[in-house]
Amino acid sequence: MSTTQSNAPTPEKGKTSVLRLDRICLKFGDKRVLNGIDLSVVEGEVVVLIGASGSGKTSLLRCINLLNTPTSGSIVIDDEVLFHRQADGKNGTPIPNQEVNRIRSKTGMVFQQFNLFPHMTALENVMEGPVIVKKEPKEQARQTALKLLDLMGLAQHVEKYPRQLSGGQQQRVAIARAMAMQPKVMLFDEPTSALDPELVGEVMKAMVELAKSGMTMVIVTHELGFAFEVADRVVFLDQGLVAEQGPPSKVLLHPEHPRLKSFVGRFHESADLLRPFLEARQAEKAC
């Protein structure tokens, strides 16, 4: 966990913001997906995005590294402008592709379907970014990759191809691949949704370890229990807007927005029974 528990929805003073989104709008044709989202993430913070399907959480995540190009708004990563376009559609500062690729590689992304490169071994998957994009010497990249794969508990599997690995193993390779670029912020797009239930745990465990190491993370997930455990801040998206946000104990246990109430309903019911336990846990973490 980060050193201090963030209870405020806005970034704390004295901490540098790693990621800042301003009034992000996104349209697919006539369909408005995001309607002006502001989000700032400080160093070491773990932000979990929740919301019903179609609320725009995956689209928002894909906007952060420009896999989706927003219709308007601005994106600043590590104090560098990745994207800026005014609401009238005029492009204030067009950013050259080369710059976009460089700034983009400060984010690491983990996908629902893993998206490992099937023609490369686990090791080659992890080395690809550092060697091809960052032009690191092969041997150095190899050592870093081996270390990362070992950290993910995959030391036995470095020479295997993705098709020889289980879903959980593949996803951990994908995490190592993203980490190899030494990103400032890691983006997770429903990383456990495509996994068999018995494999969910190992991936979550790897992510908790990452959070503990101080990694800044933005996670889209449906696993509310996991959100409760790992998040510093939970952001509830509804109809392309931030409807409610705050620390997990607040958003998940005492929701105010009516749609959030029904969204966390089932979690809430079970949480009611566990509330004394969960709140004790939160208090313990805050110390």
Partner 1 sequence: MFDYTVITNNIGLLWQGLLMTLYFTVITIGAGLVLGLFVGLIQLSTFRPLVLLGQAYVEFFRNIPLLVTLLWVYYAFPIFAGINVTKFWAGFIGLSCYVASFYAEILRAGVQSVDPGQTDAATAIGMSYGQRMRRIILPQAFRKMIPPLAGQSIIQMKNTTLLSMITVPDLLYQASYISSFTYRPMEVYTAVGVIFLIILIPLTLLSRKLEKSGASAK
Least distance to partner 1, CB of residue 216, Å: 16
Least distance to partner 1, CB of residue 51, Å: 21
| Span between the terminal Cα atoms of the chain, in Å | 11
Burial of 178: CB neighbours in 10 Å, binned 0-12, 13-18, 19+? buried
Q: Binding of partner 1 at residue 209 (CB under 8 A)?
A: no
Which helix (H) or strand (E) element contains residue 218?
strand 217-220
Query: Considering only CA atoms, which of 121, 131, 109, 100 is closest in space to residue 60?
Result: 109
Q: Binding of partner 1 at residue 115 (CB under 8 A)?
A: yes
Give the integer Cα–Cα distance in Å for 155 and 136. Answer: 22
Give the integer Cα–Cα distance in Å for 161 and 90. Answer: 45
Q: Binding of partner 1 at residue 117 (CB under 8 A)?
A: yes
Which helix (H) or strand (E) element contains residue 207?
helix 197-212
> Which residue in the set 91, 113, 140, 193 belongs to the binding site for partner 1 (CB under 8 A)?
113
Query: Considering only CA atoms, which of 200, 193, 265, 222 is closest in space to residue 50?
Result: 222
Residue 132 or residue 286: which is nearer to partner 1 going by CB?
132
Q: Which region among 2-10, 79-87, 177-185, 264-272 touches partner 1 (by CB under 8 A)?
A: 177-185
Residue 99 or residue 279: which is nearer to partner 1 going by CB?
99
Helices (H) and strands (E) in the chain, counts: 10, 10
Q: Which region among 24-32, 117-125, 146-154, 241-249 touches partner 1 (by CB under 8 A)?
A: 117-125
> Which residue in the set 3, 53, 93, 98 belongs to the binding site for partner 1 (CB under 8 A)?
98
Residue 56 or residue 108: which is nearer to partner 1 going by CB?
108
Interaction site with partner 1 (CB under 8 A): 65, 67, 97-98, 101-102, 104-105, 107-109, 111, 113, 115-119, 128-129, 132-134, 174, 177-178, 181
